Amino acid sequence: MTDKIAIIGFGNIANAIITPLLNKKLIHPENVYCVVNSEKSINNIKKNYKYNVNVYKSGSKESKIIWDCEFKLLSIKPQHLKDITEGGYIKNKDNFLVSILAGVSLNRLTQKFPNHKCARAVTNIPITVGKGLTGIAWGESLTEDQKQFTKKLFKNTSKIYEFTEDYLDIFLALTSSGPAIIALIIEALSDGGLSGGLPKILSEELVMEMIQGTISLIKENKLSTSELKNLVTSPGGTTISALRVLEKKSVRSALIESIVSASNRSKEFH
């Protein structure tokens, strides 16, 4: 796949991206160069990660080796971008950087890394269990090999969508912030079961099984969400009573506004 790859920031998402490639021997551990921000992180990787990859502390003399790698995955937190500098260590002519930083635009990336061609990828936490969604926007003048390399990074753990960059903020809001919103909904519904006398663990299990079953029903029968709602809502019944409460409390509007707010927040990092 490539001789060397640098991983700048080695958190859960970067782990989920790289590990399947190592498992399939598409990349060899000795050719993976990780930079992290603390000795604690270095020790954790050396002790607990199943592959013996190279790992260095950010800012150290040894960490400069990452700039010798043609391919780089940038997976730090957006607020730490200011701590990373390209410096004068670039040796390759055709350097390529894939960023998974929330909200950081291609324009900002190319200004920060002027000797690199760049691509942006937005992915979400289900990537860690092989159920991710990844949106990719391409920078200028990328080769087909660079695009294929980017897709290979994510294809083992994600469904991949290619977008123009202006779609990435709403994609991020919907797919990356969405899991937290779904978790809140699951928690609230299970608390409803708890208030009716069900044990907490059982109530949570029932809610998650119900959600999975509902999604399967919609997909397998090719139903719209409106059709599913009508299927289970009878005149004067329990479901319409529940839906009336949600409408009175403006739950639908609150969910819409939560996605809009997350998208707007993403744009602030541009």
Total domains in the chain come to: 2
Percent of the chain beyond pLDDT 70? 97
Question: What is the average pLDDT value for the chain, to the nearest integer?
Answer: 93
Burial degree of 68 (CB within 10 A; 0-12, 13-18, 19+): middle
Q: Identify residue 184 by its one-letter amino acid code.
A: L
Query: Regarding beta strands 71-74 and 54-57, do their DSSP bridges make them parallel or antiparallel, or are they unpaired?
Result: unpaired
Burial degree of 35 (CB within 10 A; 0-12, 13-18, 19+): buried
User: What does the pLDDT average to over 2-20?
Assistant: 92
For helices 225-232 and 200-220, give the axis angle rounded to 10 degrees.
120
Per-residue pLDDT of 80-101, as tens digits, reads 898 888 866 666 667 899 999 9
Domain that holds residue 203: 178-267
Pair 65, 138 in one domain: yes
Per-residue pLDDT of 164-206, as tens digits, reads 999 999 999 999 999 999 999 999 999 999 999 999 999 999 9
With 80 as the cut, is the pLDDT of residue 2 above it? no
With 90 as the cut, is the pLDDT of residue 223 above it? yes
Give the residue from 139, 163, 187 where a domain finishes. Answer: 163
In the chain, what's the furthest Cα-to-Cα distance?
A: 72
